[in-house]
């Protein structure tokens, strides 16, 4: 197959190849943790979107799922409890095996059967069972009304896999992928310790779907840090960078892009950062303490002093650009005010500095995390109202710690599963949630979320989510800090960067192309 030969030898091209045939080399710090969709609820989705296929997906510029592997998908009842999809004709996996309704059922069922801890199984909480009719029809029967179910099906976690290669009751242990996406994996390299180094992608000759490939091959290079990645871009060892650019590197690239023959594409992002307050600590279970913190936090200073304007202040758990966003924390607390914070504490009978221990992870959210928490400590201690101790751990032990309730206050980030307000509220509330920190909120979990999920028109759920955000502000157990932007840095000979990001901030590699003329 011609497209495979183009990327033989780790994506290098022979001297006889034309410019447009060169594999586009993309650098990222978002390395996969697994190649099996049943185990992935993380940055592995970046790769999955390009090599696997889902029944529906988010085409560029769309915030609503549209058919992908399916020809049509829709709810067939008024209650949004029965969702029917019909596959495209002649669907095949990259190895030539038929991809049919049974493959879809197998792929979804194994996620729930294997139920990997920390995996995507919780996304299927509303699903009762999957039914197939013939080779092309798949019907999802839900336990309860859930208009967000199509959004769940659009996540790369719901990638369709070949039943012959992916066991029904255990994860697949292999360095290959059998998918039906726009690309196939020609090679996948890791270090001796299993750290991904490179994924070489070639055209999938059996692909049937909406993606219009603008290139014939992509090589993804995985970097440990932004500096090394940007160095490779400037040295023309890679063509594009995405995910993981440090603020200082973004500012530098912006200032010197013309001189270096580079371009920096900025887009709106949905990544958020926030603080979580637990109920186990005697101080953080006190609403006055939490609200005093909310009254002191200077988001603008964090944005400008720590992140050099590459993020923007966020005053709601639902970010800008998503239905139902408001500025609830700003409306309630206004600008940082030490006098108001002190009044909150003294009204609660607190007259001495409050001891707080803030935790953050050292290796998940980028180089700005430590300076960010240093700045938060400075802001809380400056008026003399708090005495802050900072502690940190690498992610592997950090996550285990907050799930055990060990941290009074801890920092978290959220990359949305899908661009709907439900996904910025539902995961964090209820007795069992994504934070491992029980947060009972009956009005949200028993009334507002169920009501909103009965509404297919997601633009019509503003009122429910604005009310939910008002509740979150009043409780102040989750404190939004900032909302990220998206940046793609690329050689000036690369086009398509603006079209390469879907609404859930995953790069669609097929939109990138090498310019053939100037």
Q: What is the pLDDT of residues 366-390, one digit of tens each?
A: 888 999 999 999 999 999 999 999 9
Collapsing DSSP states into helix, strand and coil, what is residue 198? Answer: strand
Q: How far is CA 51 from CA 207, 283, 514, in A?
A: 10, 48, 20
Reported as a pLDDT band with limits 50, 70 and 90, residue 62 is: confident
Cβ atoms 262, 492 nearer than 8 A: yes
Q: How far is CA 90 from CA 93, 178, 417, in A?
A: 10, 17, 29
466-490 average pLDDT score:
95
Q: Supply the pLDDT for residue 30.
A: 86
Reported as a pLDDT band with limits 50, 70 and 90, residue 11 is: very low
Q: Supply the pLDDT for residue 9.
A: 31
**What are the b/e assignments for 442-463, b being 16+ CB within 10 Å?**
eebbeebbeebbeeeebeebee
Residues 104-160 have pLDDT tens digits of: 999 999 999 999 988 999 999 999 999 999 999 999 999 999 999 999 999 999 999
215-243 average pLDDT score:
94
Residues 261-278 have pLDDT tens digits of: 999 988 878 899 999 999
Reported as a pLDDT band with limits 50, 70 and 90, residue 17 is: very low
219-248 average pLDDT score:
93
Cβ atoms 130, 395 nearer than 8 A: no
Q: Which residue has the higher pLDDT, 400 or 99?
A: 99
Q: Which of 402, 427, 364, 107 is nearest to 281 (CA)?
A: 402
Residue 10 above 70 pLDDT? no
Collapsing DSSP states into helix, strand and coil, what is residue 478? Answer: strand
Q: Supply the pLDDT for residue 151.
A: 95
Q: Supply the pLDDT for residue 518.
A: 45
Q: CA geometry: angle at 56 spanning 489 and 120, to 5°?
A: 80
Q: CA geometry: angle at 179 spanning 110 and 222, to 5°?
A: 100
Q: How far is CA 385 from CA 91, 144, 284, 338, 351, in A?
A: 63, 47, 14, 8, 8
Q: Which residues are within 8 A (CB) of 16 and not within 5 positions of it... i.e. 6 or more apart?
A: none
428-457 average pLDDT score:
93
Residues 177-219 have pLDDT tens digits of: 999 999 999 999 999 988 999 999 999 999 999 999 999 999 9
Q: What are phi and psi of 124, to 5 degrees?
A: -100, 25
Q: How far is CA 458 from CA 150, 176, 420, 461, in A?
A: 12, 38, 8, 6
Residue 517 above 70 pLDDT? no
Which of 3-7, 288-292, 492-496 bottoms out in mean pLDDT, i.e. has the lowest?
3-7
Q: What is the mean pLDDT of the chain?
A: 92
Residues 156-177 have pLDDT tens digits of: 999 999 999 999 999 998 889 9
Q: How far apart are CA 88 and CA 276, in angstroms?
A: 44
Collapsing DSSP states into helix, strand and coil, what is residue 9? Answer: coil
User: Crossing angle for the helix pair 247-256 and 226-234, nearest 10 degrees?
Assistant: 20
Reported as a pLDDT band with limits 50, 70 and 90, residue 339 is: very high
Reported as a pLDDT band with limits 50, 70 and 90, residue 7 is: very low
- Total length of the chain: 518
pTM over 0.95: no
Location of structure tokens 């009043």 = 474
């Amino acid at each position: 197959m011609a497209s495979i030969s183009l990327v033989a030898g780790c994506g290098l091209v022979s001297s006889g190849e034309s410019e447009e045939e060169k594999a586009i080399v993309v650098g990222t710090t978002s390395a996969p943790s697994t190649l099996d969709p049943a185990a992935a609820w993380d940055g592995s989705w970046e790769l999955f979107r390009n090599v696997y296929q889902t029944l529906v997906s988010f085409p560029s510029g769309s915030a609503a799922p549209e058919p992908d592997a399916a020809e049509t998908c829709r709810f067939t009842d008024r209650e949004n409890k029965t969702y029917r999809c019909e596959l495209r004709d002649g669907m095949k996996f990259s190895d030539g095996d038929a991809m049919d309704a049974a493959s879809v059922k197998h792929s979804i069922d194994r996620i729930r059967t294997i139920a990997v801890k920390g995996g995507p199984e919780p996304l299927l909480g509303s699903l009762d069972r999957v039914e197939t009719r013939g080779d092309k029809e798949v019907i999802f029967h839900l336990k309860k009304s859930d208009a967000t179910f199509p959004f769940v099906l659009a996540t790369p976690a719901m990638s369709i896999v070949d039943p012959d290669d992916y066991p029904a009751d255990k994860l697949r242990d292999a360095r290959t992928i059998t998918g039906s996406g726009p690309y196939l994996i020609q090679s996948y390299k890791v270090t001796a310790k299993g750290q991904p180094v490179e994924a070489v992608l070639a055209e999938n000759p059996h692909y049937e779907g909406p993606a219009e490939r603008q290139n014939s091959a992509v090589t993804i290079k995985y970097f440990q840090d932004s500096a090394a990645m940007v160095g490779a871009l400037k040295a023309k060892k890679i063509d594009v960078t995405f995910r993981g650019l440090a603020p200082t590197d973004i500012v530098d690239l912006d200032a010197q892009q013309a001189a270096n023959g580079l371009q920096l594409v900025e887009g709106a992002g949905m990544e958020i950062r926030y603080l979580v307050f637990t109920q186990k600590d005697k101080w953080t279970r006190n609403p006055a303490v939490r609200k005093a913190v909310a009254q002191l936090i200077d988001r603008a200073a964090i944005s400008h002093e720590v992140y050099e304007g590459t993020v923007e202040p966020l005053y709601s758990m639902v970010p800008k650009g998503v239905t139902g966003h408001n500025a609830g924390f700003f409306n309630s607390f206004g600008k940082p005010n030490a006098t108001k914070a002190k009044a909150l504490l003294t009204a609660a009978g607190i007259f001495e500095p409050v001891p707080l221990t803030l935790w953050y992870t050292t290796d998940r959210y980028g180089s700005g995390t430590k300076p960010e928490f240093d700045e938060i400590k400075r802001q809380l201690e400056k008026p003399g109202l708090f005495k802050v101790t900072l502690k940190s751990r690498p992610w592997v032990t950090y996550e285990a710690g907050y799930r055990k309730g060990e941290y009074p206050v801890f920092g978290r980030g959220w990359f949305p599963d899908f661009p709907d307000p439900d996904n910025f509220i539902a995961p964090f509330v209820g007795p069992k949630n994504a934070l491992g920190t029980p947060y009972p909120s009956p009005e949200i979990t028993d009334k507002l979320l169920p009501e909103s999920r009965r509404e297919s028109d997601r633009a019509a759920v503003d009122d429910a989510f604005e009310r939910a955000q008002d509740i979150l502000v009043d409780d102040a157990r989750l404190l939004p800090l900032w909302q990220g932007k998206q940046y793609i840095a690329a050689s000036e000979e690369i086009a398509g960067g603006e079209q390469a990001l879907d609404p859930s901030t995953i790069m669609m590699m097929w939109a990138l192309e090498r310019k053939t003329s100037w």
